[in-house]
A and B are shown apart, each in its own frame.
Chain A
Amino acid sequence: MTKPVSMTVEAGLAAEQALLAAVCAGEQEYGLLFWQPNDQALVMPRRLSRLPAFQTASQVSADAGWPVLLRETGGEPVPQSNATVNIALVYAPPRSEGDQNRIETGYLRLCQPICDLLIELGGDASVGEIDGAFCDGRYNVNLNGRKMVGTAQRWRQSGGRPVGLVHGALLLDNDREELIAAVNRFNEVCGLQQRVRADSHIALHEAFAAPDAISRLDTLYRQMLASFLPV
């Protein structure tokens, strides 16, 4: 049974970048990694580090037990803890696909297996924005109308071909109140407008026991990758 690899948030982010580098270098055809933090941190895009109050907000966050880490993908602050499982999908699209739908297709490839899993479990799966969710976006995966998975992408060029890291942060266990507090605390001190709400989110285990969820996702992703890559 596939289990997510347990590691620190910093090590997890580094492992994702290493996976991206390995596919870029041609060392492997694709990468698929499930990892679960054994510590906690507030992870955000590099651009936020240029805000005037960033240092102060980072200190306040760290003092509250949420050290700040910077990541390579866009978006907003995202809390990472043992309650979350990260999915990193790395691949180079076949040249035949062209470039115009690369981003949309990337999100579809990440979201479709999760939606399929939720439907198998008997849930109401959808993709779209959810008001009041942290790091909200058009490609959240939602369960019963609440955000369960946040998504982002990082693309690099490798010998003229694009290689993408498509990332999903899946809320597994109900730690919503604490996660929300961490985001709102940072946003407030940093002078960011956004305030997020616990009731905009849902954890997978709140709705389903789903002990084999990660194993099933692993299978679904590998089937999906096999449909368009020479794996």
Chain B
Amino acid sequence: MIHTLTMPKWGLSMTEGRIDVWLKQPGDRVEKGEEVLDVETDKISSSVEAPFSGVLRRVLALSDETLPVGALLGIVVEGEATEAEIDAVIERFNAGFVSSAAEAEASGPTAQKAEIGGRLLRYLDLGEGGTPLVLVHGFGGDLNNWLFNQPALATERRVIALDLPGHGESGKHLQSADAQELSQAVLALLDHLKLDRVHLAGHSMGGLVSLTVAAQAPERVASLTLIASAGLGPDINGDYLQGFADATNRNALKPQLTQLFSDPALVTRQMLEDMLKFKRLEGVDQALRQLNQQLFEGGRQTIDLRGGVGRQPSLVIWGSDDAIIPATHAEGLPAQVEILPGQGHMVQLEAAERVNQLVNTFLKSLP
């Protein structure tokens, strides 16, 4: 029996490993579970164990060689096998092997980062055709806030989600930390991607940013979709904003994040860990505090852009039980208004299917 020994994957972020040292040499007997070689990846060193017993017949990767996850490292033979049989297995393996990086590329684009308008911006570009839709997340969020929306919306058109400055994996440094600075970043991304005119969809603070883009460059905005949007009235849950900015551990953060959802069970341990990890990145704390001070000083919304709604075709979606920005802000707007009963602030995640349907139908109805 001929067994292949391959580069393991020890963590989500691991894409490749560097061979440090072989602990066994060709011709050595190895027992199942025994350490065969050491592999390093940035600051992790780990042994690779034999998943089966046999004789190490071939070593196919040399010390200091860097190989992708899943690549062939060696051959262990249980029982008998000729050199020709081993050669055939290696040939077959290499012919069929696609590194996970190449696989990801083949299965669709991953988020990209580019120096845009003097700062690093991360964006995810899916789908093609039609007038593109740009998705703008809210305060403390990132492009993953559209995880359940972007792929579904991208079946109809090109859809781009970005990390706003100070968020996600975009540059953290803010200057004025106002709606103008954030909207300039969105416009800079449109310039970078050579997009003259787009549909904008913004959630919460992202709605305020979208409204600001529409005010600054109305000719570039084909329509507005505002989801639980800021900028449409004075009320906002200031305690949440302050609590979120101040939270430095799970116990402090959990009660804040549960206010975002109608179902508190959606706030998982993983979500808390990810959010804390983000909040500890250099510059994040300062960026969030700056934005909070500029946009929501004293627990009130300081910018009112209600007058901007309706200049472009507009869709407004809100959860009736939103505990961050009240759904009453949707009243009287010159727009298609959809209030989703029982839903909270993260309505695009909790009621993704309904939101996707509303957005798709709205965009298709436009000339």
Contact = CB atoms under 8 A, between A and B. Distances in A.
Interface of A: 45-47, 50, 72-75, 99-104, 108, 115-116, 119, 124-130, 135, 137-139, 142, 145, 151-157, 159-160, 162
Contact of B14 (A75, A103, A138, A162): A103
Interface of B: 9-14, 18, 20-21, 33, 35, 40-47, 49, 63-64, 248-249, 273, 277, 280-282, 284-285
Contacts of A126: 280-282, 284-285
A73 B277 contact: no
A128 B282 contact: yes
B268 to A, nearest CB: 13
A104 B11 CA distance: 7
Nearest to B44: A153
Contact of A154 (B11, B33, B46): B46
A180 B13 CA distance: 30
Q: Which one of B18, B40, B44 has the greatest number of beta carbons of chain A within 10 Å?
A: B44
A116 B273 contact: no
Nearest to B48: A157
29 contacts: A45-B45, A46-B20, A47-B20, A73-B44, A73-B45, A74-B40, A74-B41, A100-B9, A101-B11, A101-B12, A103-B10, A103-B44, A104-B11, A127-B280, A128-B280, A128-B281, A128-B282, A130-B282, A135-B43, A145-B282, A152-B43, A152-B44, A153-B43, A153-B46, A154-B46, A155-B47, A156-B46, A156-B47, A157-B49
Nearest to A135: B43
A74 B45 contact: yes
B46 A142 contact: no
Contacts of A135: 43
A101 B13 CA distance: 9
Task: Determine chain A's interface SS by DSSP, over half rule.
Answer: mixed
B36 to A, nearest CB: 10
Nearest to A125: B280
